[in-house]
Amino acid sequence: MYFVNAPFFLRWFYPSVTFNRSRKEKKIYLTFDDGPIPEVTPFILNTLAKHKIKATFFCVGENIIKHNDIFQRILREGHAVGNHTYHHLKGWDTEDERYLKNIEQCQQLTRTSLFRPPYARAKKSQLKRLYLQFEVVFWDVLSGDFDQTLSPEKCYQNVIRHSKNGSIIVFHDNVKAIPRVQYALPLTIAHFLEKGFSFEKLKPKH
């Protein structure tokens, strides 16, 4: 089970986490988790380049090592990168020191001040220390592209029905998301451009 919109109790439980940017401006923030991988990240980059828009990639360290040419392309094309741990660890199931060391291992590659915990699951004890170094970013719209029971059209509808000014939207550049992100991403961009929105990468608050 997952929530397309970040529910109020999640925002209450994590008061220092970023869920969205300012609601005052017609800006959308596309983010992509888990890559880079050759099966879909280049498609995402090509789509973004076609529309001359920037996004934010929360990268997994071991994928950066495996596919460093794609990671370098992300940087070269002016996108932001965030830390998504080295091994895509679930904080709830990982001892604090191991979790933090795994993040630091990824940080040697990403050198960013943005962090997103995989599965949005990190202990408060872990986050307390991470806040000293990172802006911890969740989202307020989860596309559901990782859900293999979800149709590509429903994934697209999830995004356009729930996004608004300042929304941080999550897609994934992983294998199981491919059919949905390939369908929904171009349509999402076209929809919001037509509505007068701009797309921006995340710039850290600190």
Q: Where are the domains of the chain?
A: 8-199
8-199, CATH topology level: TIM Barrel (3.20.20)
Strand partners, 163: none
Number of C-beta neighbours around residue 21 at 10 A: 20
Assess whether 145 carries a catalytic annotation.
Answer: no
| Under 8 Å between Cβ of 64 and 204 | no
Mean per-residue pLDDT, 30-50: 98
Minimal CA–CA distance to 54: which of 45, 67, 43?
45
In this prediction, residue 118 carries a pLDDT of: 96
Q: How many CA atoms lie within 13 A of 40 on its CB side?
A: 21
Query: Active site residue: 67, 79, 88, 172, which one?
Result: 172
118-177 pLDDT, tens per residue? Answer: 998 999 999 999 999 999 999 999 999 999 999 999 999 999 999 999 999 999 999 999
Assess whether 96 carries a catalytic annotation.
Answer: no
What are the two backbone dihedrals, phi and then psi, of residue 62, each rounded to the nearest 5 degrees? -65, -25
Query: Active site residue: 33, 34, 140, 173, which one?
Result: 33
Query: What residues contact 78, with CB distance under 8 A and at least 6 apart?
Result: 54, 201
Instruction: Look at the block and give the residue holding tokens 């940087």.
Output: 75
Residue 1 has pLDDT above 70, yes or no: no
* Span between the terminal Cα atoms of the chain, in Å: 33
